Structure 1
C-alpha cells in the first residue's frame, strides 16, 4: 500500500491538472463553506497548506462530532483518487471506532449508501500525514458523501487539502501498471520463518501446529500418505553484493518411510536462481531426516554464485510417506 501511496502522490499533480477536485473548499481557505457541520471550525494557525485547516474538538465526553459534503460523481468516472492531510492531538481512542477519520461513502440515486471506504484514521498525537486511496466507483453509485469526524472520543483532529479527483479507466490502468513495476523493484525478504503467522508467505500444503514447536508458538507439519513430492516453499530476493548465505533450521521426523531411492526422505533444501527459474547452481541440501526423530538442528553456509538474484527455501517429503515437522528457519546473508 505504501507503494501505491507514493505513486498516487507522484501522479496527483498531473491528475489534479487534468481533472478538478470534486470537493468544494477541501483546503478550508473559505472557512467551512461547502461543509454541513455544527462542530467544524477553521484554524488559521495549525495548517498544512493555504490559509487554514479545519478542526474538530472534544475535550471531554464521547459524542460523535463530524461534518460532511455530498458530491455528484461525473458521468463516466471509472475511479476516484481520494487524499487528505490529517493531524491528531491527544485523541484518546480506546475503542476500535474511537479516532479521527476521513470516509468516502458512495451513494445511489436515492442517497442510500452502497459502500463506505475509510481513507484516513488517526489516534493519539500525530503530525500531519498525507493519506491516499484509489477506489473504483461501485456500480450504481451517483454521489459521494465525504465524511470527516472525531468518533466518540476526546481529542482534537485537524484536516486539510481533502481531495477527490476523477480517474479515467486509462489513467487507472497506468497507475496499476506503475504499482506492479514498483512492487517488482522492492526487495522481497524472507519472512514468517517460524510459522507464527501460519503459512503466510509460504506456498504449498502444510498444517501449522501450536502443540509441537521448537521455538515460539508454532511449527509446520508436512504429511504424505502416498509416496509423492509434498512440500512447502518460499522465494525471496538476494540483496545486491551478497557473498554468502547461511541457512539453518530445525527438523523433526514422525514415521517417515524412505522411498525407493536413498534421497527420498524429509528434506530441507535451498535453490539459487537468477530470476526464480534459471538456476545458478545445483540445489543445496541443508538437512534430511527419516524414521522418527527428535528435533535436529541443521546449518549450512553457501557461497552465492554470480548473477544470483533469488533463493527458494523448500521443506519437502521427497516421494516418501510420513510427517516432516519444521521450525525456526533462519537466513543470514554476508557481503564480506
Structure 2
C-alpha cells in the first residue's frame, strides 16, 4: 500500500513542481519578505490587484533609480522562464533615455552572480490601470540564477506591482507550447467558407452576379443567377480543408425559375464541389444538386469522402450553359 501511495504522490509532486512560482512572496502578502531594497518601497494594502497587499514605489522629485530585487535559482533542465505580473502606473514621467520608465525587468546571472542578459517584462509611462503582462524568455547558456527587478528607472511617479510569477519551463513543455502556437497560427491563416447566406452581398465569392432582396430563404438576401442565353453564368469560392478530416458535408437551399436545360444533361442549374491538392492539381469533383424548370425552395445536402491529397475545395453555383434563374441561400460546409 505504501508503494502504491508513493507512486501516486510522485506524479503529483512533479506536476506541482512544473508550475511552482520561483518568485518568493510575489504577491507581497508577507510584506517584503525575500525582497532586497525594501527601504525604497512601501506596502500598499488599499491599492492592490488581489490578496491583501500590493507593492508601491514612489518618487516625486530627483528622478533617481529606486528599485527592489530578488535573486532565485533556475531549476535544472529549464529552457525558458514564463514571467508574469500585474502592474499599475500613476504619472510616471518620460526621461531622457528609453529605459527611464517604470520597470518590471529580469537579469540572467551565472553561478557567480555575474550578469549574462537583461530582459524587460513591462516598461510603463504615464497613468495606466492594473494591467497584466506575460512574457516567455529562453534561458541563455551559462545562466543558473534569475534576478527580478522592480523599479522606477531614474524617473518620477508611482508604480505598483502585484501577483508576480516566474514559472520554469522544460523542453517538453516548450515543445507543447510551440505546437499550440503553430496550431493557432495555422488556424488563423486558414481560409474558411464565408458569407454562405449572401447577407454581405457577393463578398468572398468570385463572379459578377447579383443578389435578391425580395426572394430569399433565410435572412434578407439570396444569390440570384440569371441568364437569357445558353452560356456559363456562375460564382465560386475556394477554401481550405482542415487537417485530419475524412469527409465533407455540403448543404444549401436552391430555387429555380424557368431554367431551360442545354444540350447536355448537366446543362442546368447546379451546385458542385471541386477538390484540389498541391499546385492546384485536381483530386476530384462531386455534384450536390442539379435543378431545372421551376421549383420552390428545396434543401439539398450530400456527404463525400475527401479525396487523398486534397488541400482545398471549391464550391460552384451556376447556370451551366442553361438559361433561366437560379436562386441559392444558406450554403454551409462541415467536416468530420
Give the match for residue 45 of structure 1: 46
Give the match for residue 25 of structure 1: 25
Partners of 2:17 and 2:184 lie apart in 1 by: 24
Give the match for residue 240 of structure 1: 194
Give the match for residue 76 of structure 2: 75
Unaligned 5+ residue runs, structure 2? 1-13, 197-201, 207-236, 241-276, 283-313, 317-336
Partners of 1:177 and 1:24 lie apart in 2 by: 30
1:207-233 CA-to-partner distances (Å, cap 9, x unmatched) read xxxxxxxxxxxxxxxxxxxxxxxxxxx
Does residue 274 (structure 1) correspond to residue 239 (structure 2)? The answer is: yes
Partners of 1:169 and 1:18 lie apart in 2 by: 12
Partners of 2:34 and 2:205 lie apart in 1 by: 61
Partners of 1:15 and 1:118 lie apart in 2 by: 28
CA pair 15-27 structure 1, distance change in 2 beyond 3 A: farther
Partners of 2:16 and 2:164 lie apart in 1 by: 12
* Counterpart secondary structure, 1:101: strand
Give the match for residue 179 of structure 1: 181
Give the match for residue 224 of structure 1: none
* Counterpart secondary structure, 1:178: helix
RMSD: 3.2
Whether the aligned pair in 2 keeps the contact of 1:273 and 1:280 (CA below 8 Å) is no
1:144 Cα offset (Å): 0.5
Give the match for residue 152 of structure 1: 154
Partners of 2:15 and 2:51 lie apart in 1 by: 20
Greater Cα radius of gyration, structure 1 or 2:
2
Partners of 2:78 and 2:17 lie apart in 1 by: 16
CA pair 77-273 structure 1, distance change in 2 beyond 3 A: same
Give the match for residue 127 of structure 2: 125
Partners of 2:78 and 2:148 lie apart in 1 by: 17
Partners of 1:178 and 1:15 lie apart in 2 by: 19
1:97-154 CA-to-partner distances (Å, cap 9, x unmatched) read 1211111110011111111111111111111111111122111111111111111111
Whether the aligned pair in 2 keeps the contact of 1:82 and 1:134 (CA below 8 Å) is yes
CA pair 16-165 structure 1, distance change in 2 beyond 3 A: farther
1:52 Cα offset (Å): 0.7
Whether the aligned pair in 1 keeps the contact of 2:193 and 2:239 (CA below 8 Å) is no
Give the match for residue 291 of structure 2: none
1:184 Cα offset (Å): 2.2
1:245 Cα offset (Å): 5.8
Partners of 2:113 and 2:102 lie apart in 1 by: 24
Number of residues paired by the alignment? 203
CA pair 277-69 structure 1, distance change in 2 beyond 3 A: same
CA pair 278-238 structure 1, distance change in 2 beyond 3 A: farther
Does residue 64 (structure 1) correspond to residue 65 (structure 2)? The answer is: yes
Partners of 2:193 and 2:63 lie apart in 1 by: 50
1:238 Cα offset (Å): 7.1
Whether the aligned pair in 2 keeps the contact of 1:81 and 1:133 (CA below 8 Å) is yes
TM-score under structure 1 normalisation? 0.54
Whether the aligned pair in 1 keeps the contact of 2:18 and 2:167 (CA below 8 Å) is no
Give the match for residue 109 of structure 2: 107
Does residue 136 (structure 1) correspond to residue 138 (structure 2)? The answer is: yes
Give the match for residue 251 of structure 2: none
* Counterpart secondary structure, 1:186: helix
Partners of 1:105 and 1:40 lie apart in 2 by: 20
Whether the aligned pair in 1 keeps the contact of 2:102 and 2:123 (CA below 8 Å) is yes
* Counterpart secondary structure, 1:274: strand
